[in-house]
Amino acid sequence: MVFFLHDQRFIPAHGQAAVLLDLAADQAIDSNVLLRHTGLFREQIVQGEAQLSSHDFLQLIHNSRRSLADPELSFRYGQRLFPGHYGAASTLLANAGNLAQALQVFCDFGVLIQPLAGARLSLSEQHLCLQWLDCAGSGPHWRFIVEAAMTGVASVTRWLSGERLPWQFLFRHDCPDYPEQYQVHLSGPLHFASQIDAMLLPLEYLERPWPNHSATARQAALQQCQQEIASLPGTLSLRHGLYLHLLEHIHQPPSLQESAEWLECSPATLKRRLKGFSSHYQQLLDEARLHQAVHWLAFHGQGPDQVCARLNFTDSTNFRRSFKRWSGQTPAMCHRQLLRFAQR
Amino acid sequence: MKQRLSLHRGSLIALLVMANLVVLANLASGDLKTVSELVWLDIAGEGGAALLALLWIGLILNSRPTGRVTRLLVTGLSTLFLAYWQDLMDEFIQLPSAVMWDHWLESGAMPLGMLLLTLGIYHWHREQQAISAQLQKRERVFREHRSLDGLTPLSGPRYLREQLAMELLKQDQPLSLVMLDLHCFDHSRRLLGPHDSDRLLREVAEVLLLNLRQQDLLCRYAGDRFAVVLPRTGRQEAESLTRELEQAVRHFAFKTQRGITHPVAIMAGLAVAHDEDADSLIERANRNLHSPSRVA
């Protein structure tokens, strides 16, 4: 498996980053201020040659938030993000024949359409759950990224489907002091201080056909996307790739040593590379376990005891204590809270 | 910032030329003092005053468009600067006692500069009164530039909450809050593009302002949602005002950059305060916005 590192430059700067630059330019912010410490210049971007690493992109977001300290920024950015002008990936999204095909773009070609936030789609009996995962170790900027991603997906699915989809929104963070931005821009039930950042929708919307798409254009774009992704240094960030690997083997998670062997590098190198994403092995393992536990608890109707057994904990006290450390809640509390959302 | 200063290039060049002329006139008619004759405290005091006057000129030019008030302020400050400048020259150059023009420049320019500056500040005050009158429906009682909205010339949600909290303290008076949401703005934004849709929001704000009373306050809540605070207004009156706002926006023919008319409609949600805090009033108005009966 080949994953990209935090300082590998391959994200075209005239893609998602340019949306942010244009947005700031509309509010009379100098683009040189925004590009400070990214090593890029406006001229390079206009020529379509400049490339960003995920670290540079985070720096750009940092600069934008400092220059435009407006809580609306992430939502306005999100509204402009999709389908966007990112080549084949945008064509693929714009020609989605239903929600499943649209979400496939985010899940399979995330690096082309939304490089900082990874999407994970899971289906339960009643709901689809689109969870957003931090690919870049974005720390304080994660909230900005997740606000933009959710606004973008809610907006583009509404536009392409021609109807307002009744999304529900779950956020890990507490309600910020600008709830009005969430209310107006997302306009669905909001659940703050949840265990995951995710969007929920009743399952019946997944296959409902959408108007105005071309199946042929979509097929061609799919081919192109596959070629594009093959030419990149990696399809996933190292942080996201290792997270998914841990998730896949959650019953018997590999140790740091085993993970390093799987990645064909030394444990010290793996540690150093994860540090580039402001992450470490144990943090990823905790995240993966929490997220999987939440999925089982909320969407698959399993009780805390079953989840405890599936996560390979020896006894339930131990599981409860760990769960509380990851999430600040007991599994039973989380179970009750999430069941409520899923029943809406 | 650069553009602002370039508006005033003429004034700046004139000032520079005058300052140079003063230096040349001094050098032509007097002799340089020796280092032992210099009084450093005077140099620091008078030089500092001249520098401050120069800084004020820079700040004023940078923050104001050209016009009568700006001209008065800048001329006044420039005259003051020249008086201090001549004062500073005295410290370095010994002029013969027969030369009188330096006294005129020092003692005559000072009161003249003060007079011009006073006149400028007086007109500035009048100008501010005119601007405040224009702003009346957008800001009430106190000013807070930090709560201004980035997109429209209105205040944002923080100011709205503060003002509602203040109005709610007056329990003997009815208070109404109307939330207004543009119909299908998500769709409009994609059709119009970012520039036109931002302009649409600004122009709708203007239309709403034109249809409000003196005591009302219009804020931008978030996105395409506006909030109207109606002090001393009961349900019946608020409902009729809301209808007027809806009609006014329906009759507004927004023009895109290409000159095509884009129709606009708003939905309204009304809540009349009874014994509650700002947040719950806002929440009720927002809820009514989504209810099919619209004005509940």
In the prediction, which pLDDT does A88 show? Answer: 95
Please state, as a whole number, how many other Cβ atoms lie within 10 Å of the Cβ of residue B268.
Answer: 23
| Average pLDDT of the residues in B234-250 | 95
Question: Touching check for A155 and chain B: CB below 8 Å?
Answer: yes
Q: How many A-B residue pairs are in contact by the CB < 8 A criterion?
A: 42
Between CA B280 and CA B285, with CA B283 as vertex, the angle to 5 degrees is: 110
Mean pLDDT of chain A: 92
In the prediction, which pLDDT does A37 show? Answer: 92
Report the residue from B189, B198, B221 with minimal CB separation from A184.
B221
| Short-list B113, B92, B80, CA closest to B23 | B92
Q: Do B223 and A181 touch (CB under 8 A)?
A: yes
Share of chain B above pLDDT 70, in %: 92
Residue A224 to residue A105: CA distance in whole angstroms: 12
Domain closes at, from B91, B114, B135: B135
DSSP secondary structure letter of residue A111: H
Same domain as B156, residue B125: no
In a domain, residue B60? The reply is: yes
Residue B1: is its pLDDT beyond 60? no
Residue B295: is its pLDDT beyond 50? no
Same domain as B94, residue B20: yes
- Among A306-310, B34-38, B141-145, B184-188, name the one with the lowest average pLDDT: B141-145
Same domain as B153, residue B120: no
pLDDT digits (tens, 9 = 90+) for B68-114: 888 899 999 999 999 999 989 888 888 888 888 888 888 888 999 99
In the prediction, which pLDDT does B145 show? Answer: 56
In the prediction, which pLDDT does B140 show? Answer: 64
pLDDT digits (tens, 9 = 90+) for A229-287: 999 988 899 999 999 999 999 999 999 999 999 999 999 999 999 999 999 999 999 99
Residue A193 to residue A327: CA distance in whole angstroms: 10
Question: Touching check for B194 and chain A: CB below 8 Å?
Answer: yes
Q: Prior bond to B263 cis, omega within 30?
A: no
Share of chain B above pLDDT 90, in %: 53
Report the residue from A72, A79, A158 with minimal CB separation from B222.
A72
Give A94 to chain B, closest Cα distance, Å.
13
Question: Touching check for B286 and chain A: CB below 8 Å?
Answer: yes
Residue B51 to residue B80: CA distance in whole angstroms: 11
Residue burial A28-38, b: 16+ Cβ < 10 Å; e: rest? ebebeebbeeb
A96: three-class secondary structure by DSSP: coil
Q: Which residues pair with B94 in a beta bridge?
A: B31
Same domain as B260, residue B130: no
Report the residue from B157, B194, B195 with minimal CB separation from A180.
B157
Domains of chain A: residue spans and CATH: 11-230 (3.90.1520), 238-343 (1.10.10.60)
Contact A289, A311 (CB under 8 A): yes
Domain that holds residue B97: 2-135
Q: Which residues from B are below 8 Å from A75, CB to CB?
A: 222-223
Q: Do B157 and A72 touch (CB under 8 A)?
A: no
Question: Touching check for A80 and chain B: CB below 8 Å?
Answer: yes
- The CATH number for B236's domain is 3.30.70.270
- Assigned token pair, B165: 């909290």
Same domain as B262, residue B125: no
The bridge status of strand A190-191 relative to strand A168-170 is parallel
Cα B213 to the center of its chain, rounded Å: 22
In the prediction, which pLDDT does A120 show? Answer: 94
Q: Name every residue whose Cβ is closer than 8 Å to that of residue A215 and which is 6 or more positions away in sequence.
A: A95, A97
In a domain, residue B228? The reply is: yes
| Average pLDDT of the residues in B273-291 | 89
Same domain as B130, residue B149: no
Report the residue from A26, A68, A181 with minimal CB separation from B198.
A26
| Size (chain B), residues | 296
Question: Which residue carries 């509204």 as its tokens?
Answer: A79
Same domain as B173, residue B67: no
Q: Do A26 and B225 touch (CB under 8 A)?
A: no
Q: Do A27 and B150 touch (CB under 8 A)?
A: yes
Share of chain A above pLDDT 90, in %: 73
Same domain as B131, residue B163: no
Q: Do A159 and B224 touch (CB under 8 A)?
A: no
In the prediction, which pLDDT does B99 show? Answer: 83
| Average pLDDT of the residues in B213-221 | 91
Same domain as B278, residue B153: yes
Domain closes at, from B135, B163, B188: B135
pLDDT digits (tens, 9 = 90+) for B127-174: 888 887 777 767 665 555 556 677 787 888 988 999 999 999 988 899
In a domain, residue B149? The reply is: yes
Same domain as B200, residue B110: no
Strand stretches in chain A, DSSP E: 11-12, 51-52, 117-123, 127-134, 168-170, 190-191, 198-202
Same domain as B240, residue B198: yes
In the prediction, which pLDDT does B11 show? Answer: 83
In a domain, residue B140? The reply is: no
Residue A195 to residue A299: CA distance in whole angstroms: 13
Question: Which residue carries 């708003």 as its tokens?
Answer: B266
Residue B113 to residue B119: CA distance in whole angstroms: 10
At B296, the pLDDT band (50, 70, 90 cuts) reads very low
Question: Touching check for B140 and chain A: CB below 8 Å?
Answer: no
In a domain, residue B153? The reply is: yes
293-332 in chain A: CB under 8 A from chain B: none
Q: Do A26 and B157 touch (CB under 8 A)?
A: no
- B161, B181, B189: best to mutate for the A interface, most A CBs within 10 A: B189
At B294, the pLDDT band (50, 70, 90 cuts) reads very low
Contact B235, B214 (CB under 8 A): no
Share of chain A above pLDDT 70, in %: 98
Give B187 to chain A, closest Cα distance, Å.
7
In the prediction, which pLDDT does A343 show? Answer: 62
Residue A292 to residue A287: CA distance in whole angstroms: 8
- A19, A22, A64, A72: best to mutate for the B interface, most B CBs within 10 A: A72
Residue B194 to residue B172: CA distance in whole angstroms: 45
In a domain, residue B295? The reply is: no
Residue B23: is its pLDDT beyond 60? yes
Q: Name every residue whose Cβ is closer than 8 Å to that of residue B165 and which is 6 or more positions away in sequence.
A: B277, B278
| Average pLDDT of the residues in A200-210 | 95
In the prediction, which pLDDT does B293 show? Answer: 46
Same domain as B236, residue B100: no
Residue A309 to residue A250: CA distance in whole angstroms: 11
Domain closes at, from B117, B135, B153: B135
pLDDT digits (tens, 9 = 90+) for A75-114: 999 999 999 999 999 999 999 999 999 999 999 999 999 9
Instruction: Report the domain count for chain B.
Output: 2
Give B99 to chain A, closest Cα distance, Å.
53
Between CA B224 and CA A112, with CA A75 as vertex, the angle to 5 degrees is: 135
| Average pLDDT of the residues in B7-19 | 86
